[in-house]
């Protein structure tokens, strides 16, 4: 095995979450008896460049061709997309002549925000079912994985892109060098490439181990990211920290230029990474211990609550929820059902645990005593939406706050 960024073979395996089913491969009722493919879920740390990554790569077609995750299932994420599109259009004074390409465009949720500004838009996404949904919204979508070849075809047919976005997709790509070469091919000389993904510092500090799943290959810190762009015609000129998804970063990339680069803010993030000793084995060893402790705490809580005959359900059927439940060996005996706002997930069953997924209103017709907030990254949105249940005494269990009951 070699590091995805610097190709070093000096990788240190620090945490295994076992062999797990694919976190977004939900099960149909009649398929529950079928054997689910399982794959290693093992985190490695590269001693040379600091990249944290999975080294077992599941064939992307298996994960993304028929894909049930849509960003539009959460108002918080749509609001975030609205802010992102507005900021980019304003910063670049983009007009109707300019091309905006969203890579990993999913159901077109982000491009719909850009559409409001009259710019030319184009999606790239490998999922057959989601590309169809985007096309129905009038969003031209290239149904494929992004690479240099696709980039060249886009540039030839539509011209160079003023804005290229990749939100929660860059960390999913196996050959990231090839992906970056595609950006070099597609990005206009005065264009910006903006990448968003969860940040390693938050991942380690908050032990966000449930955000590890097979589609999520890279867990980026700034240091390996700088290494990745080193020998390219591109440069990172700014990085913003965000609270989304348990702590993410928004990375701004452009063609190398003599323009002012926010070295200060980038260096601050690198200094913080070094102060956390992320360039040593220590924090990763501690992370692995914290994961075991989290599992112990949760299993003990579950046993206590079940011992008192409480009815326990889950809120959200996120990919992270499946990593969490399967790592903790939770079954439908422990958790009666989960609810989710994604229409494509309702009526299916969670991979591994086979817990049934219902529409959100199920918790009003079949009210539980406790709700585990599996989609904890949307705690505010979900708990506000269900304030009346809480008034009736239903309690939420908050995994991201050490299973605090609220």
Q: Does 6 help bind Zn ion (rule: CB under 5 A)?
A: yes
Query: Given the complex with ligand DWN, which of 134 and 266 has the nearer CB atom?
Result: 134
Cα–Cα dist 276/249, whole Å? 17
The one among 123, 314, 318, 352 contacting ligand DWN by CB under 6 A? 318
- Which range in 126-134, 139-147, 223-231, 335-343 contacts ligand DWN by CB under 6 A? 335-343
Give the shortest CB-342-to-ligand DWN separation in angstroms: 5
**Do 398 and 377 touch, CB atoms closer than 8 A?**
no
Locate 267 and state its tokens: 């260096």
Give the shortest CB-257-to-ligand DWN separation in angstroms: 30
The one among 80, 254, 294, 320 contacting ligand DWN by CB under 6 A? 320
| Other Cβ atoms closer than 10 A to 211 | 22
Q: Which of Zn ion, ligand DWN, none sits in contact with 105, Cβ below 5 to 8 A by type? A: none
The one among 22, 42, 51, 313 contacting Zn ion by CB under 5 A? 51
Q: Where are the alpha helices (DSSP H) in 159-199?
A: 176-186
Using DSSP, state whether 21 is helix, strand or coil: strand
DSSP 255-299: E--SS---HHHHHHHHHHHHHTTTTSSHHHHHHHHHHHHHHHHHH
Cα–Cα separations (whole angstroms), residue 343 to 28, 35, 254, 340 = 14, 25, 38, 8
**Do 355 and 331 touch, CB atoms closer than 8 A?**
yes
Locate 357 and state its tokens: 């997924």
Q: Which of ligand DWN, Zn ion, none sits in contact with 46, Cβ below 5 to 8 A by type? A: Zn ion
Q: Where in 210-239 is the site for ligand DWN (CB under 6 A)?
A: 215
Give the shortest CB-131-to-ligand DWN separation in angstroms: 16
**Do 186 and 199 touch, CB atoms closer than 8 A?**
no
Q: Does 217 help bind Zn ion (rule: CB under 5 A)?
A: no
Q: Where in 20-49 is the site for Zn ion (CB under 5 A)?
A: 46, 48-49
Q: Which of ligand DWN, Zn ion, none sits in contact with 312, Cβ below 5 to 8 A by type? A: none
Q: Which of ligand DWN, Zn ion, none sits in contact with 3, Cβ below 5 to 8 A by type? A: Zn ion
Kind of pairing between the strands at 161-167 and 187-198? parallel
- Which range in 231-239, 247-255, 298-306, 338-346 contacts ligand DWN by CB under 6 A? 338-346
Task: Tell me the backbone φ, ψ of residue 76, rounded to 5 degrees.
Answer: -60, -45
Contact residues for ligand DWN, defined by CB under 6 A: 69, 73-74, 76, 168, 215, 316-320, 340-342, 360, 375, 377-378, 381-382, 385
């Amino acid at each position: 095995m070699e590091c995805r960024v610097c190709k070093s073979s000096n990788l240190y395996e620090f945490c295994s979450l076992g062999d797990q089913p694919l976190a977004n491969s939900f099960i149909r009722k009649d398929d529950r008896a079928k054997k689910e493919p399982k794959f290693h879920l093992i985190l490695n740390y590269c001693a040379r460049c600091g990249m944290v990554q999975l080294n077992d790569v599941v064939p992307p077609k298996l994960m993304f061709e028929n894909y049930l995750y849509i960003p539009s299932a959460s108002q918080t994420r749509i609001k975030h997309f609205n802010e992102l599109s507005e900021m980019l259009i304003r910063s670049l004074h983009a007009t109707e002549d300019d091309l905006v390409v969203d890579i990993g465009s999913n159901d077109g949720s982000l491009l719909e925000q850009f559409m409001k500004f009259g710019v030319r838009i184009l999606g790239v996404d490998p999922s057959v079912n989601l590309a169809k949904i985007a096309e129905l919204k009038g969003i031209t979508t290239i149904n494929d994985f992004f690479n240099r070849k696709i980039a060249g075809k886009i540039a030839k047919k539509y011209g160079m892109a003023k804005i290229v976005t990749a939100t929660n997709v860059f960390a999913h790509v196996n050959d990231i060098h090839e992906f970056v070469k595609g950006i070099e091919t597609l990005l206009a000389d005065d264009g910006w490439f903006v990448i968003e993904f969860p940040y390693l510092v938050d991942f380690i500090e908050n032990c966000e181990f449930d955000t590890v799943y097979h589609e999520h290959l890279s867990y980026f810190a700034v240091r390996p990211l700088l290494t990745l762009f080193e020998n390219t015609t591109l440069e990172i000129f700014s990085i913003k920290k965000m609270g989304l998804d348990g702590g993410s970063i928004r990375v701004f990339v452009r063609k190398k230029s003599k323009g002012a680069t926010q070295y200060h803010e980038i260096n601050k993030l690198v200094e913080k990474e070094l102060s956390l000793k992320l360039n040593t084995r220590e924090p990763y060893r501690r992370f692995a211990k914290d994961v075991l402790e989290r599992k112990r705490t949760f299993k003990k809580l579950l046993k206590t609550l079940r011992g008192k005959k409480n009815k326990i359900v889950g809120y959200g059927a996120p990919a992270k929820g499946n990593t969490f439940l399967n790592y903790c060996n939770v079954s439908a005996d422990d958790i009666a059902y989960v609810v989710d706002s994604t229409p494509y997930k309702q009526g299916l069953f969670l991979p591994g645990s086979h817990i049934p997924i219902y529409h959100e209103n199920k918790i009003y017709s079949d009210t539980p005593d406790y709700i585990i907030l599996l989609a904890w990254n949307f705690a505010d949105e979900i708990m506000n939406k269900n304030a009346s249940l809480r008034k009736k005494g239903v309690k939420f269990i908050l995994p991201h706050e050490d299973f605090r009951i609220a």
